[in-house]
Amino acid sequence: MKKKLYQCVPQDLKWKEDKMIIQSQFKKENDEICYLLGFNNYIIITKVMKVFQPQDLQQQPKKYIHLDFDIKFEILRENQVKQGDEDDSLGQIKGISLIKDLGNETITYKKYLGGEKIIKQWREYLSNRINQWQFHQMFKVYKKIGKGNFASVYLAQKIEDQKKMAIKAFSKQAAYAEEQGKEAIVNELKIMRQLNHAHIMQMHEVYETSNSLYVALELLEGGSLYDLIKEKTLLSTTQIQQIMVGVLQGLHHMHQKKIMHRDLKLENILFKQQKQMDSVVIADFGLATKVDEPVYLYYRCGTPGYVAPEVINIKDVQGHYSEVCDIFSLGLVFYLLLSGKQAFPGKSYGTVVKQNREAVIDFKIKQLQQAPSQALDLMKKMLERDPNKRVSATDCLKHPFLAEMNNQMADDFVNDSFDEIDEIGEVALRMNALNEETIKFDAFRRNAILNSPGSPGILDTKQLKQQKVIDSLNQLQMNSPLLNGKTDTFDSIPNIGTPKNKQCQNGFQQSPMIKHSQFKKSIPLQQQNQDNPLQKYSQQQKN
């Protein structure tokens, strides 16, 4: 049975009070004129004359579309005569189609015809709320750059504007079959659509076909913080400040929207460009959630060794905690960057979990003895066990250890870094003292490298491998599509022309309890050729 796209406007819909975001006149296929009024999460359809405010409507509208996960849109174009197999040009935009995806049932759709400028405005409005139907004709795909047991990631270029992106593709059937699979996808898309910041990985668009989902993400070419540590890169104190400020500015943006990440660790801190620490971004929002959700999708989650104590110790499924859980996780990363040691250095999964639960941290290890006093002060405040006493992202950016770097990297963060002081000279004295400590600490770490392979500031290879084992045995949650979507290997973007056959860093089977971003998920190998032009395009590039 064919189901309708529209619903009757419910009596409790306060459309006259809600803010209207966009409105336009369209022509339907039968040449009838209609008007669409776009609000935050629904569209009203009316036949009356164009209005400027909802209250100007002469009568109660009868039809509306609630913009939930089952509603998609597609850009309609004029038919284009191809000049050959290599011709990827697109026809002129002529309209937009709204679609209701009912799975195995009939798809219902309506076409609205209008000028290209209007359609592009509606595309921008809809892209921030729902997925776009179809994918194949919109992208030129060059190469698979990442893969895992269930995941495939491709380097692609959008034909319309030639913009390069990373496309993560996965099977809807496989994802939805997992426990809370669809809910996890809806949650992550909703979270990422609310975020727009230089230090947060950007999600450009989301496309769907009947079988697959394609997520177009910002192409990050600088690798991860894990990669840097694995390569034994010694980061200077200034570089550590850049990383910390960038991540904190991203967290500040998230926390203002009452969103918490809940899985900050080395692998989820990435860089836009190689060797540019100020290009740092936060990635992987598979565990992110709103602080005020009545019940969290996953209430106890994350990676042992990086989890805030209030999260790892929570026992009530309906319990809550706040966004400062991310500050604790980042504090553990900070500890590792400065000392080269993990705050919870257990050699087994059980030991690390126990240490993480107790959250007793040794700040007197020899690797931190010559660390700048301001750095230690900030670290202790970030690693405060009591979340009610822990500093916020805003407080961290104002802290003397990071304030000057925050000034240099200021984006949308309104900076009032220092508290009011009587004499401006006190600021200069404070900064000079910090610079002197920083110089001594960097020299201490450089000298240590020359004398010992397991030096301060460089995480020992055995420790790093051990943490990967801990990651693989993470027992904090039950199975979900976020686990199976993990991408185990990823080629270096600058070496895109040189295929690599990398072995998975982690030889252990993932526990059914760990959570990773849904968008590391992809099409199982046996399904990839059914509804996936990416394989075809990749093969063409090789030939």
Cα dihedral sign, 473-479-484-487: negative
Cα dihedral sign, 61-66-71-74: positive
Give, in order, the Cα–Cα distances in Å from 299 to each of 236, 294, 328.
36, 11, 17
3-state secondary structure labels for all residues of 170-192: EEHHHHHHCCCHHHHHHHHHHHH
DSSP states of 409-469 as a string? Answer: T-SS-----SPP-S-THHHHHHHHHHHHHHHHHHHHHHHHHHH-SS-TTS--HHHHHHHHH
- Residue 76 CA to residue 138 CA, distance in Å, equals 12
DSSP-assigned letter for residue 201: P
Residue with tokens 């309104």: 414
Residue with tokens 């200069």: 428
- Residue 229 CA to residue 224 CA, distance in Å, equals 9
Is 110 among the annotated ligand-binding positions? no
- Residue 402 CA to residue 245 CA, distance in Å, equals 7
- Residue 419 CA to residue 369 CA, distance in Å, equals 28
- Residue 383 CA to residue 131 CA, distance in Å, equals 39
- The SS3 call for residue 155 is strand
Is residue 129 within 8 A of residue 35, CB to CB? The reply is no
- The SS3 call for residue 190 is helix
Q: 216: which strand partners?
A: 167, 205
- The SS3 call for residue 79 is coil
Binding site residues for ATP, as ranges?
A: 168
Binding site residues, as ranges?
A: 168
